[in-house]
Amino acid sequence: MSNNDSPIKSTGLHIGEAAPGCKKTDPMLVIDHVKKSFGGLTAVDVEHLEIPKNAITALIGPNGAGKTTLFNLLTGFDTPDTGAWEFLGTSLSGVPSYKVAQMGQVRTFQLTKALSLLTVLDNMKLGSKNQVGESIFRALFPGSWRKQDAEIELKAIELLKRFNLDAKQADFAASLSGGQRKLLEMARALMTDPVLVMLDEPMAGVNPALTQSLLGHVLNLKKEGMTVLFVEHDMHMVRHIADWVVVMAEGKVVAEGPPETVMNEQAVIDAYLGAHQDTDLGVVTGRISIIDQEKDK
């Protein structure tokens, strides 16, 4: 994507100062006092966070910051120790993952979850919700579900064309490359007609040839009226497509704001490089004392 094709960023997303936990003008997700610990380690400790509607929000932070755990909590794949959150004004606390998806909030995974021994097309069809044929009783009467199944298949093929996977529709998902599996997961998520798409490291392990394609698809989600929340480590990509950035470190939100300003904040620099990036590493590790350094002056 050339500089001339740079996406138009959404503005006016927040109220007041852009600081951790700031209010949004039109939030889609509102998170309050969500905590999750594993043993003695606190993985997530988010006091308050709002995700703006009709925007692309990047969730960034070093490894172990709690980003994927927060995703798991918000989508019903894990249970918090405390806290609550709302999606479009409806509480999702305790709601199982499949119901969360049916409500319009879907996610992809850092390690793709394609069913390897099903075809690409069958993987897509599984993503459609409210299928009549899923009923054991109705499954015995093909006439009750064949029309819907044909409509689902047509929709799946159209999405596969959009993601340049239509030539692979009859192949087993196991035969796809890592990048193609990422595309399949994103395409399958759209089978549910979501309003919020959560992508966990969509570019991880993707070769450069497919990275540009994935970037375009993420931007298209917003163009089509969807809200996007994604985890990413590539800061160049975050600067390019994100309207808003949320920074996590040690389970907490330490900064948030537009990408062009938030990445220059000291809290963000500390989160990625450590609070002692301007100090001799010998001092940090204890190998050299500050007193000894003063003597040498």
d(Cα 260, Cα 243) in Å, to the nearest integer?
9
DSSP H or E stretch at residue 294: helix 290-296
- Residue 175, phi then psi, degrees to nearest 5: -85, -10
pLDDT, residue 24, reads: 96
Two structure tokens written together for 294:
């003063």
Two structure tokens written together for 245:
């950035």
CATH class of 3-114+193-264: alpha beta
β-sheet bridge partners, residue 27: 52
- Nearest Cα neighbor of 106 from 191, 11, 31, 215 is 191
pLDDT, residue 274, reads: 58
Cβ(283)–Cβ(289) below 8 Å: yes
Cβ(86)–Cβ(272) below 8 Å: no
Break the chain into its structural domains and give their ranges.
3-114+193-264, 115-175
pLDDT, residue 31, reads: 97
Two structure tokens written together for 46:
């988010």
| Local mean pLDDT, 10-residue blocks, the chain (297 residues) | 63 93 96 94 96 96 91 93 95 90 87 80 83 64 74 89 90 87 88 92 78 84 94 85 94 93 80 53 42 48
Q: What is the dihedral of CA 183, 184, 187, 192, to 10 degrees?
A: -140
Residue 273, SS3? helix
- Nearest Cα neighbor of 235 from 208, 197, 268, 213 is 268
What does pTM read for this prediction? 0.81
